[in-house]
Structure 1
Amino acid sequence: MPYNLLKGKRGLIFGALNDKSIAWKVAERAREEGAELVLTNTPVSIRMGNIDELAQRCGAVVIPADATSVEDLENLVTKGMEHLGGKFDFVLHSIGMSPNVRKGRTYDDLDYDYYHKTVDISAISFHKVIQTCRKFDAIEEWGSVVALTYIAAQRTLYGYNDMADAKAMLESIARSFGYIYGREKNIRINTVSQSPTPTTAGSGVMGLENLMDFAERMSPLGNATAAECADYIITLFSDLTRKVTMQNLYHDGGYSSMGMSMQAMHIYNEGLEYRDVKNDKSRRRNK
């Protein structure tokens, strides 16, 4: 149900590919809440995805841009403001990709050219976006910038690979620029640490289905969906959260505060019992 939380506001959304994308859900919700939008992604992603369908649904314009290219970003920001007739009130950075993950390279056998691309695409692009917006004074006072991250920035999750390093850097950029932009223009910058989510990019993570199952069993509220994440991000774009900045905000059903759930412990004990029975049978056969 819409609450008109973003009535009269203008937004720039990076990363909508298809209807599995969190950025896609955010764009739909932002439009429902009254915002006008500019959507962007790389030219290749635009050809691969369905962003034009989203743009038609939201009455938005699509401006292609590679977020690792300052030249592309400058063109995006200037044309975006021209189209909307003013500065942005909010910006969503929903960008992440690891060539090492895609190629199945493990963390102890990274290709360093791929590693550089991972960090540039998934983290440094966030710095470039914010720096470009600041250069062109493109965000309204009391505006909001949000980037999507994951708990692997703080905890080791096998299979998340070099993306964990990129997310840790992303969160640091939010804090560093949050101070500068907050002090100068009252602009807030936060990251949202979402539950494991089966987006097109997320599906490339090794063992995602098992990870989602584990997180579901561990989280008292269960995993947060992409649509629920969009709802949360809308509140961060709104005027209701004007004094929230430089934070990494967990949106994961409580997973980040858990050590061991009763359900997970039960399954763990069942596994131990099965192992003990199996070992006992093996010892008997070997006598």
Structure 2
Amino acid sequence: MTDLATPGSAGLLNGKRLLITGVLSDMSIAFQVARIAQEQGAEIVLTSFGRALPITEEMTRLLPAPAPVIRLDVTRPEDLERLPLEVTRHLGALDGIMHSIAYAPPGALGGRFLDTPWQDAATALHVSAFSLQALTASCADVLEDGASVVGLDFDASLAWPGYDWMGVSKAALEAVARYLALYLAERHIRVNLVAAGMIRTVAARAIPNTDHLETIWRNRPPLSWDVSDPTPPARACILLLSDWLSATTGEILHVDGGLHAVMT
């Protein structure tokens, strides 16, 4: 399957200016969002920080066109305060934000749910859920009316063995998205999530019991699912970042081969 447009041509995101977080490898859903966004006519900036920063900068070489990388740690108020100035310098304003940020300390994963200290749980919630509010609020003054905010989710209606406080954080992320959808509606800013099935990303490899999750997605979805292909959820993000779903907000779009809907 080919994309609908090449860089600079009229596509779903022609003329859009997007901030994209979470580009760590070509297996990142965020990387595929960045790639397809450019192919669909968008201008983008990426964010990264710390040891991941040079990795993200290296990944820009694999994109259809060069993209600047802004230093951003969503847990640091000074980075969030500086972000609008950086966005203005590179893009002027934003028509969309792609939130692809999640982290839980080892003590919050792997079946240690009952023993997880608050500090580890708080870190998971801060980075993985509150950051959606923090990032969106930071960019409020540079977000155009009618913009779209999209975040990556993992079905929080179920308890996944080993996922533990990251699962709780994803449930919190879903609530944060709904409240943002409520309070940003007066500016016609849409906030939606894509609940992706299991993809073999850098973040997924850090989760204990990943092999078990991969087995589930190889065998149980009614539609075939490739754990090494992040393109399907990335395409859903592109659709939500476009103007095609202009009346959709507070939604969780499942792109998981249909696993969430069936019992097998």
Report the CA distance between 1:101 and its aligned residue.
5.4
Give 1:79's aligned residue: 86
Q: Is the 8 A contact 2:109 2:207 kept in 1?
A: no
Q: Is the 8 A contact 1:100 1:111 kept in 2?
A: no
1:179-190 equivalences under 5 Å are 179-183=182-186, 185-190=187-192
Rounded to whole Å, the distance in 1 between the matches of 2:58 and 2:217 is: 33
Report the CA distance between 1:56 and its aligned residue.
6.9
Rounded to whole Å, the distance in 1 between the matches of 2:157 and 2:184 is: 25
Report the CA distance between 1:94 and its aligned residue.
0.3
Report the CA distance between 1:147 and its aligned residue.
0.6
TM value normalised by structure 2 = 0.91
Report the CA distance between 1:223 and its aligned residue.
2.4
Rounded to whole Å, the distance in 2 between the matches of 1:238 and 1:43 is: 31
1:79-228 equivalences under 5 Å are 79-84=86-91, 86-100=92-106, 104=110, 106-134=112-140, 137-151=141-155, 153-183=156-186, 185-223=187-225, 225-228=229-232
TM value normalised by structure 1 = 0.84
Between structure 1 and structure 2, the one with the greater Rg is: 1
Give 1:20's aligned residue: 27
Deviations 1:166-216 (A, max 9, x none): 101111011001011112x10000011000111011112222122122123
Give 1:35's aligned residue: 42
Q: Alignment partner of 2:4: what SS?
A: coil
Residues 167 and 103 of structure 1: is their aligned pair in 2 closer, same or farther, counting only changes over 3 Å? closer
Deviations 1:219-265 (A, max 9, x none): 111226311111111111111111110011111110000111xxxxx
Report the CA distance between 1:21 and its aligned residue.
1.0
Q: Is the 8 A contact 2:16 2:94 kept in 1?
A: yes
Picking from 245, 254, 261, the partner of 1:257 is 261
Report the CA distance between 1:154 and its aligned residue.
1.1
CA RMSD of aligned residues (A): 1.7
Q: Is the 8 A contact 2:48 2:73 kept in 1?
A: yes
Rounded to whole Å, the distance in 1 between the matches of 2:144 and 2:243 is: 12
Q: Give the number of the structure whose residues are more often helix, by fraction.
A: 1
| Aligned structure 1 segments of 4 or more residues deviating by more than 4 angstroms | 101-105
Picking from 59, 65, 71, the partner of 2:72 is 65
Report the CA distance between 1:123 and its aligned residue.
0.8
Rounded to whole Å, the distance in 2 between the matches of 1:249 and 1:60 is: 28
Residues 164 and 40 of structure 1: is their aligned pair in 2 closer, same or farther, counting only changes over 3 Å? same
Rounded to whole Å, the distance in 1 between the matches of 2:107 and 2:67 is: 32
Determine what percentage of the aligned residue pairs are the same residue: 32
Report the CA distance between 1:52 and its aligned residue.
3.3
Equivalent residue letter for 1:191: L
Unaligned regions of 5+ residues in structure 1, if any? 261-287
Rounded to whole Å, the distance in 1 between the matches of 2:107 and 2:28 is: 19
